């Protein structure tokens, strides 16, 4: 009898610095996943994620980016897209 296949999924994590390195040269319409899981819950436990999410939200409020999410096996993927 063969062993069952186990799918190991890791949460994508980017730093605030990595976000800025993506944002500056990104062209309008380009996207990046900045978190997967439950952003509202996860940011309570991770100050770095909270700062990243707050920074990205600030960009969204200034119409520099658009925010979206899509279902993911671990909750949701949170996507930021550079605005045009």
5 pLDDT more than 50: no
Domain spans in the chain, listed from the N-terminal domain onward: 16-82
Radius of gyration of the chain from its Cα atoms, rounded to whole angstroms: 15
Q: Is 37 left (phi over 0), alpha (psi -120 to 50) or beta?
A: left
pLDDT band at 30; cut points 50, 70, 90: very high
Q: % helix / strand / coil in the chain, to the nearest 5?
A: 35, 25, 35
Q: What is the DSSP letter of 28?
A: T
User: How does pLDDT run across 32-58, given as a tens digit for each residue?
Assistant: 999 999 999 999 999 999 999 999 999
């Amino acid at each position: 009898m063969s062993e069952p296949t186990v799918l190991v999924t890791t949460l994508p994590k980017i730093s605030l610095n990595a976000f800025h390195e993506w944002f500056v040269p990104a062209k309008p319409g380009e996207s990046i996943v900045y978190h997967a899981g439950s952003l509202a819950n996860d940011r309570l436990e991770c100050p770095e994620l909270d700062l990243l999410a707050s920074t990205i939200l600030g960009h969204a409020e200034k119409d520099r980016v658009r925010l979206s999410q899509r279902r993911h096996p671990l909750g949701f993927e949170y996507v930021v897209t550079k605005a045009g």
